[in-house]
Structure 1
Amino acid sequence: MCGIAGIWRKRNPVGALDLSDIARMMQALAHRGPDDHDSWNNGRLALGHRRLTIIDPSPAAREPMLTACGQGVLVYNGEVYNYRALRQTLEAEGRVFRTASDAEVVLQALHHWGPEKAVPQFDGMFSLAYFDARNEALWLTRDRLGIKPMSVAETGERLIFASEDKALLACDGFPCNVDARELTLRLAWQSRDSSYSLFDGIERLPPAGLWKITRDGIEKRCFWHVLDVLEPARITGDISSDAEHLATLQALLEDSVGLHCIADTSIASACSSGVDSGLITALAKRFRPEIHGYVVDPKLGRSEAANAERTARHVGVNLRRVPVDKNRFLELWPRVVWHLESDGWHASQVGLLALAEQCRADGVKVLLTGEGADELFGGYLWQATSMRMWRPWSWPGRLLRSRRSLDRKFERLRYAPYRTSLANGYGRDRNMVLRALAPELNFLQMKIFERLEPVTPLADRAFLGSCLYDLYSHLQDLLHRHDRLSMAASVELRVPFLENRLIDFAIHLPRQQKYRRKTGKWLLKKVAEKHLPHQNVHAAKMGFDMSSDFTAGTQTLLHGGFLRDVMKWPASSLEDLIDLARRDEPSRLRLVGMELFLRLHVGGQKIENLTEALHTACRDAG
């Protein structure tokens, strides 16, 4: 897990300005790799790397890493967990290794097989830049679901790229301009963080992006997309018994957790009271007997720490509570926004940063979490609600409606088939939403629904489609949040549910294996029953919420701020917006969070000054 940076010159060779910018970018990414750093340049390319040592801490594994012939160069962020199997294959084909690192396996695979063959074989989380001097080609790529980030910008004669936007902003003369359209989309509650930047001129490499850059320009493609790999016939033709599915999922999870426990450093888990992180903790205990868990323990509102203790006792791990009171919350909130490079729209994000900082203070570099299970196995309420939207076509509901009425309703719903669809209105209103907001995501809903056409009944098709769509919407925000906030404390966060074989297995499960008898994640919970307390497995889903009292009063920060000016809201509307933020916590988090973002990046204010401003706002609110 590291930070990477690079500058590609379109014509002229790399010069002093480029090397200075690489140094500035690496400094901006110091939190991602505090253990080591180095740089490399040759001709039109300069590369920088910040290292967080996880696998093979020896100096020989330092990056940028070159092949023995000097014709291949790599900077790499992440972990490819099947690197040992890939290494055996490469050695059988005559490749010789100098280190025990996964980075060298990645480099050798790219150089020996070529990126188009090698990258789809990587099982893990990664973003990387690989330069092949044999044909003067630079390759940029990112893992299939976008767990690890990469930001890119073209500036005249240069293409610059790095792990975070702030590294690009550190380059000499790079303008720090906010994209008003993106800001509007965030305020409209769009899931945007992983794939889109709030800064004008910065592009995020999409999940599974595979870009080839040469003197002729940029060739953009993706090596994986759920629309390309989804086989509806596997779903409709599934004849496996519950017991067979259960055994398969158990084996896949054990294999994935075992791979995710490979590290030459200490490992812990985020162990909440829920099924997902609890199951990961229980399985990880088999591979790392010394593992311990962490849970955030808010001092306002509800805490899940007591229920998490039940899981910890059951699986035999020590659980460390991470307390968060209001003072700690207001201290961390501006830091959250700084590292997210967005508005920090969910109060739980502060809890995650507090947890990551405690890990680092305890000397823990790797943290396992349960992200991805709800999307893959059907754990969200809105997925079940999407299914209910399509029940009029099921017996006996279809007997109560005419064929003509059902056809009209189908034509309307097929363009907005899920509960989370923004365009659930009629005709003209729906089309305005699709055109004006985020067409690339909104039309993806329809494409997934159409791809699942062989699946019946329509309610099952909608449920499965909603799960798949969440991989590109809700999950993207979660992955962005987890990468940025764990790396803010120099901690690598691993997500064992998002392993290649598990993804393939889950996207081809029938609805009955995901949602049965009003129970979401049905199959996953059957596995969990073998490892976790029954009470925790079947408790109502709570999510990781934090009390609205943590942010109460902060809405007065909107007085005299930047948000109204950027959005060009009339002054007369400001009091109404502040009143809305006072009454409605989601609006308060969005509006105040965006104000913090603008004060940090447009106003140049310091994090500690914004913490004091939040305290003042709370006092002014009475």
Structure 2
Amino acid sequence: MCGIAGVWRKRDPIGAGDLSDIAGMMQALAHRGPDDHDSWSSSRLALGHRRLAIIDPSPAAREPMPTACGKGVLAYNGEVYNYRSLRQALETEGCIFRSVSDTEVVLQALHHWGPEKAVPLFDGMFSFAYFDARDNALWLARDRLGIKPMAVAETAERILFASEDKAILASNGFGRRIDAREITLRLAWQHRDSSFSLFDGIERLPPAGLWKITDAGIEKRCFWHVLDVLEAARITGDRISDDEHIAKLEALIEDSVDIHCIADASIATACSSGVDSGLITALSKRFRPEIHGYVVDPRLGRSEAENAERTGRRAGVPLRRVPVDRDRFFELWPKAVWHLESDGWHASHVGLLALAEQCRADGVKVLLTGEGADELFGGYKWQAESMRAWQAWSWPGRLFRSKRWLDRKFGRLRHAPFKTSTGNSSASERNLVLRSLSPELNFLQTRIFDRLEPVTPLGDRAFLGCCLYDLYSHLQDLLNRHDRLSMAASVELRVPFIENRLIDFAIHLPRRQKLRGRTGKWLLKKVAEKHLPRENVYAPKKGFEISSGFTQGSQGLLRGGYLRDALKWPAAAVEDLVDLARRDEASRLRLVGMELFLRLHAGGETAGNLTHALHAAAAEASG
């Protein structure tokens, strides 16, 4: 896990200014790689790398890493967990290795097989820049579901790229302009954190992005998309017994946890009281007997620490509580927003940052979590609720509706097939949203629903489609949050559920293996029964709750003017919005979080100053 930065000159050779920019970009990414740093340059390209040494911490694995022939070079962020099997295949074809790192395997695979063949073979989380001097091509890539980030900006003379937007902002001459449209989209609850930037002129590689940069410009493509690999016939033709499915899933998860435990550094788990992180914690004990876990312990409201410790006792894994009181919350909230490069729209962001900082203080470099299971295996209530709109086609409901009525209703629902579909209350509202907000996401809903056409009944089709859509919406928020906040503390966060074979297995499961009766994640819970306390497995899903009391009173910051000016609020409406934020926690988190973002990135205020401002606002509100 690392930070990468680069400058590609379109015409002129790399100069002193470009090398100075690389140094500044690397400094902006120091938190992503405190263990080492280096740079490399050729006639048109300069690369920088900040290293967090996890696999092969020796100097032999230093980056940017050139090939032995000097015709290829790699700056890489992440882990490719199947690197050992890839190395064996490369060695049989004559490749010679100088280190035991996964970095060199990635480099040799790209150089020997070519990016278009090699990248789909990588099983893990990654973003990288690979330069092939043989045809003067620069390749930028990102893993299939976008666990690792990559930002890109194109100017008249250069193409800049880096692991985080703030590194591009650190380059000379690049303006720090906030995109007001993106602010509006975030406030409108659009899931855009992973693939879109709040800074004008910066874009992000999408999940599975594979971009080729040459003198002809940027050729943008993707090497993987769920629509391209989904086989509806595998879903409709599934006749496998429950026991076989359970055994297959358990074996896949065990294999994934095994490879995710590969590290020459200390590993721990984030263990809540839920099924997903609890199962990862229990299975990781087999491969790292010394492993321990962490659980956030809020000092306001409900804490899941006690229930999480029940999982720890069953698994034989000791848990360490990470306390968060209001002072700690106000200390970390602005810092979290700084690293997210977006509003801190969920109070749990602070909890994750507190957990990551405790890991780092304890010398832990790698943290395993359970993210991805709800999207892949059907764990969210809105996925089940997506079935309700399609009840008219179920027996005996369809007997009481004419075919003409059903056809008209199908035509409307097809464009807003899921519970989370934006603008599904009326045709005019839906069309407004499709035209003006996030068309790339909103039209994806229909494409996924149509791709599942063979699946019946329609409620099953909507449920499975909603799960697939969440891979590109809700999960993107989570993955962006986890990368930014763990790396803020120089901790590598790994997600064993997001593994190639597990993804393929999960997206081809029929609805009955995900939702049975009222039980979501049915199949995953049957596996978890073998490893976790039953009361934890079947407890109601609560998510990562942080009491609204932590942020109460912070709405006073909205009078400061940054968000007001960016969105051109009328002066008379400011107090109404302050009152809305006071009454409604979701609005308070979104609005105050965006105000913090603007003060940090547009106003130049420090996180420490904003902590004092939060305390002052809360004191004023309570007084």
TM-score range, shorter chain: over 0.9
Equivalent residue letter for 2:174: F
Matches within 5 A, 1:591-606: 591-606=591-606
Deviation string 1:378-432 (CA, Å, 9 cap, x unpaired) is 0000000001211110001112222222111111100000000012022222111
| Residue number in structure 2 paired with 1:415 | 415
Deviation string 1:223-254 (CA, Å, 9 cap, x unpaired) is 00000000000000111000110111011001
How much does 1:579 deviate? Answer: 0.4
Deviation string 1:276-332 (CA, Å, 9 cap, x unpaired) is 000000110000000000000000000000000100000001100000000000000
How much does 1:215 deviate? Answer: 0.8
| Residue number in structure 1 paired with 2:351 | 351
Deviation string 1:564-594 (CA, Å, 9 cap, x unpaired) is 0010010010010000000000000000000
Question: Is residue 156 of structure 1 aligned with residue 156 of structure 2?
Answer: yes
| Residue number in structure 2 paired with 1:499 | 499
TM-score by length of 1: 1.00
How much does 1:346 deviate? Answer: 0.1
Deviation string 1:115-155 (CA, Å, 9 cap, x unpaired) is 00000000000000000000000000000000000000001
Question: Is residue 390 of structure 1 aligned with residue 429 of structure 2?
Answer: no
| Residue number in structure 1 paired with 2:612 | 612
| Residue number in structure 2 paired with 1:210 | 210
| Residue number in structure 1 paired with 2:532 | 532
Q: Distance between the aligned counterparts of 1:289 and 1:382, measured in 2?
A: 37
Q: Distance between the aligned counterparts of 2:370 and 2:560, measured in 1?
A: 41
How much does 1:194 deviate? Answer: 0.3
Name the count of aligned residue pairs.
622
| Residue number in structure 1 paired with 2:25 | 25
**DSSP-derived class of the 1:559 partner:** helix
How much does 1:173 deviate? Answer: 1.5
| Residue number in structure 2 paired with 1:454 | 454
| Residue number in structure 2 paired with 1:585 | 585
Q: Distance between the aligned counterparts of 2:430 and 2:536, measured in 1?
A: 41
Equivalent residue letter for 1:174: F
Deviation string 1:488-537 (CA, Å, 9 cap, x unpaired) is 00000000000000000000000000000110000000000000000100
Equivalent residue letter for 1:13: P
How much does 1:607 deviate? Answer: 0.7
Q: Distance between the aligned counterparts of 1:391 and 1:111, measured in 2?
A: 53
Q: Distance between the aligned counterparts of 2:28 and 2:207, measured in 1?
A: 23
**DSSP-derived class of the 1:422 partner:** coil
Question: Is residue 174 of structure 1 aligned with residue 174 of structure 2?
Answer: yes
Deviates more, 1:395-404 or 1:199-208: 395-404
**DSSP-derived class of the 1:390 partner:** helix
| Residue number in structure 2 paired with 1:260 | 260
**DSSP-derived class of the 1:308 partner:** helix
| Residue number in structure 1 paired with 2:363 | 363
Deviates more, 1:364-373 or 1:387-396: 387-396
| Residue number in structure 1 paired with 2:92 | 92
Q: Distance between the aligned counterparts of 1:571 and 1:156, measured in 2?
A: 39
| Residue number in structure 2 paired with 1:523 | 523
Root mean square deviation of aligned Cα: 0.5
| Residue number in structure 2 paired with 1:435 | 435
| Residue number in structure 2 paired with 1:221 | 221
Q: 4+ runs of 1 displaced by more than 3 Å? A: none
Equivalent residue letter for 2:65: M
Q: Distance between the aligned counterparts of 1:405 and 1:277, measured in 2?
A: 45
Q: Distance between the aligned counterparts of 2:426 and 2:360, measured in 1?
A: 51
Q: Distance between the aligned counterparts of 1:581 and 1:220, measured in 2?
A: 41
Equivalent residue letter for 2:329: F
TM-score by length of 2: 0.99
| Residue number in structure 1 paired with 2:128 | 128
Deviation string 1:466-498 (CA, Å, 9 cap, x unpaired) is 000000000000000000000000000000000
Equivalent residue letter for 1:405: W
Equivalent residue letter for 1:286: R
**DSSP-derived class of the 2:330 partner:** helix
| Residue number in structure 1 paired with 2:137 | 137
Q: Distance between the aligned counterparts of 2:426 and 2:388, measured in 1?
A: 19
Equivalent residue letter for 2:426: Y
How much does 1:548 deviate? Answer: 0.2
**DSSP-derived class of the 1:17 partner:** helix
How much does 1:262 deviate? Answer: 0.2
Q: Distance between the aligned counterparts of 1:421 and 1:107, measured in 2?
A: 41
| Residue number in structure 1 paired with 2:10 | 10
Q: Distance between the aligned counterparts of 2:176 and 2:425, measured in 1?
A: 37
| Residue number in structure 1 paired with 2:487 | 487
**DSSP-derived class of the 2:541 partner:** coil
Deviation string 1:40-71 (CA, Å, 9 cap, x unpaired) is 00000000000000000000100000000000
Equivalent residue letter for 1:140: L
How much does 1:12 deviate? Answer: 0.4
Equivalent residue letter for 2:458: L
Q: Distance between the aligned counterparts of 2:429 and 2:310, measured in 1?
A: 49
Q: Distance between the aligned counterparts of 2:121 and 2:4, measured in 1?
A: 22
Equivalent residue letter for 1:365: K
Question: Is residue 66 of structure 1 aligned with residue 59 of structure 2?
Answer: no
| Residue number in structure 2 paired with 1:113 | 113
Question: Among the aligned pairs, what percent are the same residue?
Answer: 79
Deviation string 1:537-578 (CA, Å, 9 cap, x unpaired) is 000001001000000000011113200001001001001000
**DSSP-derived class of the 1:90 partner:** helix
